[in-house]
């Protein structure tokens, strides 16, 4: 693959030596977020947004709490120009939202940009950019360092000429491809611009330092940002901003380390849409803070609604494994993961009950789930899903959640084998209803006509209890009355008299709570020729459910004796 061709790409712009402070710092607060979906993200769409989609997206960002939004590139298209005019001529932008417009460092385009913002009552930022890296200077612009410096300052003077008298307007400068620009040159350009624009505490200049094309590890970008942070003139009058792209797949890491290195502001797209491999993903950055206990200052509590609007506006579907928002990111198929998650939910419920504290106020300690899905407006329904990779914990979780069945551990093991066999044979995912169908077929009605309960009577005379039973076994009636025993023992004794000994190991009572009219469910573990088996009985009456479970066990004994294949087995 001739990798050596790329060896010296970054070596041309080494970072001056510095005593790094960023590695020992920790994130403690959210930076200022600036979504650029309506400009940078829009440029990256095969079909740019029409006015309706653009407005929907803007209104979404306002509702989420963004206070600074880059709304367009008004000199690039009539659609963008008209959208900026819509903001000027309507009230769609609340008074506390700063509007950012983007322009190249060219006089006619700067003038067109300033025309678009006239009449906007909100605070406005004019964002001027020019590429500054050596390859761009040589290949694209045809300027040496001195000539490009003068071009930038001329454009900066044009910004002042056309907008310097507008009291609600501030300025932003981006040396595009900052991360591939010689650090001393980038620093000189930024200092020259802040001097020209007279950056002050009451009218700070934004210096935005883009990793326009990622070519190095995130620590290198952090070093570059810290170098600028520590060497900029008028630092207290500068808002230091970053704009990472994602060519190496490390845009999020670049942004996080840049904030540690002194950046105060992050430009990106809500879910990372942007040219090539995308801009940095603000949702991931913000929710990474959330799961560290830091308020991200943006509301993602209805992430599915946000996703729907973004997908509609961009006409791009999000990947099912996209961090935090993808369909499958809170979902576990693996058996070990499911078991741990099930135990984590149970422990969380127990702590809530014991402490009397609502679950959403307790420390989150559920394995494999770094965030409570409920924080994002997600239900728990999609957290555990079953396929051939799943284990007993996930299967048990779904049946307990949807049907109220609390399966003992040994039954979980037995049932999971049957589910896995079914999943292996079909290759399909199984939902809770399909799991319950397998459960019914295997334990509740293994041989429907082999043994049936015809009557059950429990009576008490002079303090003594008697159980009377009539049972049909392969069409032959067997009856008996048994004193001083319960229905379970009486049923086992009647089956024994009929030649079907049932060796009961354990009995568990539970219920079918969902969609089943509150039926009682009895689960019986028994042995047939030394092999552990399970049978279940279901009825509105707990007594009849227990008798039905014993009869089900008897049917399995009869089934084995007659060498009948059992449903759910591989024979």
Can you read off the two tokens belonging to residue 31?
């930076």
Do 427 and 456 belong to one domain? no
Do 431 and 503 belong to one domain? no
Do 344 and 458 belong to one domain? no
**End residue of a domain, out of 382, 414, 444:** 444
> 257: closest CA among 246, 269, 242?
242
> 269: closest CA among 229, 316, 301?
316
Spatial separation of the C-alpha atoms in residues 205 and 460, rounded to whole Å: 91
Give, for 70, the enclosing helix (H) or strand (E).
strand 68-72
Mean pLDDT of 362-366: 94
Supply the mean pLDDT for the chain.
90
CATH of the domain at 495: 3.30.160.270
What is the model's pLDDT at position 570? Answer: 43
Do 159 and 277 belong to one domain? yes
107-117 and 145-163 helices, crossing angle to 10°: 30
What is the model's pLDDT at position 402? Answer: 84
Do 250 and 365 belong to one domain? no
Task: Identify the three-state secondary structure at position 138.
Answer: helix
What is the model's pLDDT at position 383? Answer: 58
For residue 11, being part of any structural domain is answered with no
In tens, the pLDDT along 200-226 reads: 999 999 999 999 999 999 999 999 999
For residue 319, being part of any structural domain is answered with no
| Residues 386/402, Cβ–Cβ less than 8 Å | no
Mean pLDDT of 227-245: 98
Does residue 182 register a pLDDT over 90? yes
Residue bearing the bigger pLDDT, 409 or 134:
134
Does residue 132 register a pLDDT over 90? yes
The DSSP code for 90 is S
The DSSP code for 93 is S
Task: Identify the three-state secondary structure at position 549.
Answer: helix
| Residues 116/86, Cβ–Cβ less than 8 Å | no
What is the model's pLDDT at position 128? Answer: 98
What is the model's pLDDT at position 528? Answer: 84
**End residue of a domain, out of 405, 424, 444:** 444
- The domain tally of the chain equals 3
What is the model's pLDDT at position 59? Answer: 98
Do 419 and 503 belong to one domain? no
What is the model's pLDDT at position 227? Answer: 97
In tens, the pLDDT along 1-47 reads: 888 877 776 556 678 888 999 999 999 999 999 999 999 999 999 88
For residue 125, being part of any structural domain is answered with yes
What is the model's pLDDT at position 380? Answer: 62
Alpha-carbon separation of residue 490 from 383, 457, 468 (angstroms):
43, 11, 8
Give, for 557, the enclosing helix (H) or strand (E).
helix 542-561
One DSSP character per residue, 209-252 reads EEE-S--S-HHHHHHHHHHHHHH-TTGGGEEEEEEEB-TTS-HH
**End residue of a domain, out of 267, 282, 314:** 314
| Residues 174/208, Cβ–Cβ less than 8 Å | yes
Beta bridge partners of 506: 525
| Residues 418/442, Cβ–Cβ less than 8 Å | yes
What is the model's pLDDT at position 388? Answer: 45
Does residue 335 register a pLDDT over 80? no
Residue with tokens 């099930």: 342
pLDDT-wise least confident of 105-109, 180-184, 415-419: 415-419
Does residue 382 register a pLDDT over 70? no
Spatial separation of the C-alpha atoms in residues 272 and 484, rounded to whole Å: 72
What is the model's pLDDT at position 183? Answer: 95
């Amino acid at each position: 693959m001739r990798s050596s061709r790329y060896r010296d790409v970054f070596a041309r712009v080494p970072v001056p030596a510095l005593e790094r402070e960023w590695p020992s710092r920790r994130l403690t607060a959210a930076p200022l977020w600036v979504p650029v979906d309506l400009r940078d993200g829009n440029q990256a769409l095969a079909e740019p947004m029409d006015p309706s989609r653009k407005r929907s997206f803007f209104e979404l960002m306002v509702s989420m709490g963004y206070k600074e939004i880059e709304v367009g590139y008004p000199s690039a298209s009539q659609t963008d120009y008209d959208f900026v005019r819509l903001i000027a001529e309507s009230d769609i932008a609340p008074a506390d939202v700063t509007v950012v417009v983007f322009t190249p460092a060219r006089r006619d385009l700067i003038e067109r940009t300033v025309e678009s913002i006239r009449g906007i009552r909100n605070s406005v930022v004019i964002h001027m950019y020019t590429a500054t890296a050596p390859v761009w200077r040589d290949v694209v612009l045809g300027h040496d360092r001195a000539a490009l410096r003068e071009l930038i300052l001329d454009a900066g003077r044009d910004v002042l000429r056309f907008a310097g008298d507008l009291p609600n307007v501030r300025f932003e400068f981006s040396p595009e491809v900052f991360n591939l620009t010689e650090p001393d040159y980038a620093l000189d350009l930024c200092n020259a611009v802040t001097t020209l624009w007279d950056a002050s505490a009451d009218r700070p200049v934004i210096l935005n330092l883009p990793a326009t094309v990622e070519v190095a590890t995130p620590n290198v970008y952090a070093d570059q940002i810290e170098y600028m942070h520590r060497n900029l003139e008028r630092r207290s009058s500068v808002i230091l901003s970053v704009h990472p792209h994602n060519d190496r797949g490390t845009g999020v890491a670049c942004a996080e380390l840049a904030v540690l290195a002194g950046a105060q502001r992050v430009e990106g797209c809500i879910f990372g849409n942007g040219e090539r491999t995308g801009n940095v993903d603000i949702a991931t950055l913000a929710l990474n803070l959330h799961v560290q206990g830091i308020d991200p200052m943006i509301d993602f509590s209805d992430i599915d609604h946000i996703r729907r609007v973004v997908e509609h506006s961009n006409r791009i579907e999000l990947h099912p494994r996209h961090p935090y928002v993808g369909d499958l990111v809170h979902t576990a198929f693996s058996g070990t993961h499911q078991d741990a998650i099930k135990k984590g939910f149970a422990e969380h419920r127990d702590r809530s009950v014991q402490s009397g504290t609502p679950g959403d106020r307790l420390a989150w300690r559920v394995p494999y789930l770094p965030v409570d899905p409920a924080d994002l407006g997600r239900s728990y329904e999609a957290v555990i899903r079953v396929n051939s990779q799943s284990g007993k914990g996930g299967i048990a979780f779904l049946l307990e959640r949807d049907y109220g069945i609390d399966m003992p551990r040994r039954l979980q093991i037995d049932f999971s084998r049957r589910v896995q066999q079914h999943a292996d044979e079909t290759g399909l995912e199984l939902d809770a209803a399909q799991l319950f169908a397998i459960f019914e077929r295997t334990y509740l009605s293994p041989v429907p006509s082999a043994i049936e309960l015809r009557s059950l009577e429990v009576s008490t005379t002079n303090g003594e209890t008697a159980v009377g039973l009539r049972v049909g076994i392969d069409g032959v009636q067997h009856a008996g009355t048994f004193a001083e025993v319960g229905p379970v023992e009486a049923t086992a004794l009647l089956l024994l008299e009929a030649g079907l000994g049932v060796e009961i190991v354990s009995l568990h009572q539970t219920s079918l709570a969902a969609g089943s009219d509150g039926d009682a469910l009895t689960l019986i573990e028994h042995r047939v020729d030394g092999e552990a088996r399970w049978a279940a009985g279901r009825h509105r009456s707990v007594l009849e459910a227990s008798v039905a479970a014993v009869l089900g066990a008897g049917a399995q004994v009869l089934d084995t004796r007659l060498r009948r294949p059992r449903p759910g087995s591989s024979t």
